[in-house]
Structure 1
Amino acid sequence: MRTYGGLTAEERVARRRRRLMDSAFELFSTQGFAHTSIRAVLRRSGLQDRYFAESFASLDELMAAVVEAMWDEQLPRIAACVGTGRPRDEQARDVLRVLVDNMMSDPRKGRLQLIEALVAGPATARARQQGLRRMDEIVRSLLHEGPVDPRTDIRAKSVAVVGGVSQLLRNTIDGTLDLPQEALVDEGAFLFEAVANHIGPGSGSRA
């Protein structure tokens, strides 16, 4: 296999793709998706025009790749908090701390994933929904750590928890709410516990 500068052709493409994604992350998260152009990404990455098309068909596909990479980075750490044998409510707080820290310790991450991703295109919407579904699966497995009334629609409950926590994070990032990180964990835990305590046998929950 031929190499150039010690790298194969595939490795050079992967490296250029990573440079485009890193540059896009910075631009999308600071000046916004609507105010970012392909040319601006290329200028920041130091790459020539022809290298964009070898990896992405559009700015939306680039944003989708960035969003997917962010989910891939955080979800394994979140999933590791579940199934540890600790009480369910403590596991939920562990999940929330990882999620909140990831979104809030670097404001760029939260802004890109929770705000800018909403105004991109269909490719980003698909990447975002896939990430939320994976998060929903984690919450569902956590809810199943305790007793569940078989008549309960457990998926609807987990979707409600994920949606509620996402909205809390989004409104904190956009300034609608003024909540420190531990307060966000507390509010998310309140949502989870309210649902978890409502789905046990004899709770009267069927929906």
Structure 2
Amino acid sequence: MESGLELFSSRGYAHTSISSVLRHAGIKDRYFAESFCSLDDLMAALMRDIYEEQVTRCAEAIGTDESLRERARNMIDVIVGLPLEDPRKGRIKLAESLGAGPLTAQERRLGLERMSGLVDFLLREGLHDPGIDTAAMSVAVVGAVSEMLLSWFNGVLDLSRDALVDQGLLLFEAVTEHLSSPG
């Protein structure tokens, strides 16, 4: 797993082979086959671990007695912090996973669904209109923040970490303000 993390993030998924992972890890073919059926399976396992870490930390960030705004800010800060704390994980989650195979795509979808579930939990606070689909809005918020983060990570957005968190929070607050407005 560590060799996959290192090679996918430094060489890219498209330029990494099972044999290069084996050489980097110093292991024989059969050891890889005991754990993974393909390179995509290895990438999917890495994505699962990355999302598990992120979802756990985000759940902790929103599971406090702080205001809705502060909990949302803390969650967004966790999401933005991942590429800074371990740029390898950030590159894999934000860029390399997009070019991997169907197993990785499935793990990415599951991870985004879990993140959307956390946002949905926050959006339901103070909701006055039962006709509003908070699940759809949570997918939109997660997608928008993910795209902002990808653009930031790729150098398209020239913002500080705090400014990026502020922009994500602004989006979240715009949605919550609309959802909580009576009639």
- Cα distance in 1 for residues equivalent to 2:69 and 2:161: 18
Match of 2:162 among 179, 182, 198: 182
CA contact (8 A) 2:128 2:182 kept: no
The residue aligned with 2:21 is 41
Cα distance per residue 1:9-29 (max 9 Å; x no partner) = xxxxxxxxxxxx110001101
**Rg larger for:** 1
Match of 1:32 among 12, 15, 20: 12
In structure 2, the gaps of 5 or more residues are none
Cα distance per residue 1:63-122 (max 9 Å; x no partner) = 000000111122111101224222111110011111111122322221110110000000
Moved >3 Å (runs of 4+): none
- Cα distance in 2 for residues equivalent to 1:54 and 1:105: 31
Secondary structure of the structure 2 residue equivalent to 1:54: helix
- Pairing of 1:62-141 with structure 2 (within 5 A): 62-141=42-121
CA contact (8 A) 1:88 1:146 kept: no
- Pairing of 1:162-201 with structure 2 (within 5 A): 162-201=142-181
- Cα distance in 1 for residues equivalent to 2:53 and 2:135: 24
How many equivalent pairs are there? 183
- Cα distance in 1 for residues equivalent to 2:177 and 2:108: 29
In structure 1, the gaps of 5 or more residues are 1-20
- Cα distance in 2 for residues equivalent to 1:82 and 1:149: 23
TM-score (norm 2): 0.96
- Cα distance in 2 for residues equivalent to 1:115 and 1:145: 33
Structure 1 residue 133: Cα displacement = 0.5
- Cα distance in 2 for residues equivalent to 1:45 and 1:181: 34
- Cα distance in 1 for residues equivalent to 2:121 and 2:12: 35
Give the partner amino acid of 1:144.
R
Say which structure is richer in helix: 2
The residue aligned with 2:126 is 146
TM-score (norm 1): 0.85
Question: What is the root-mean-square deviation of aligned Cα atoms in Å?
Answer: 1.1
Task: Describe the shift of the 1:87–1:141 C-alpha distance in structure 2 as closer, same or farther (beyond 3 A).
Answer: same
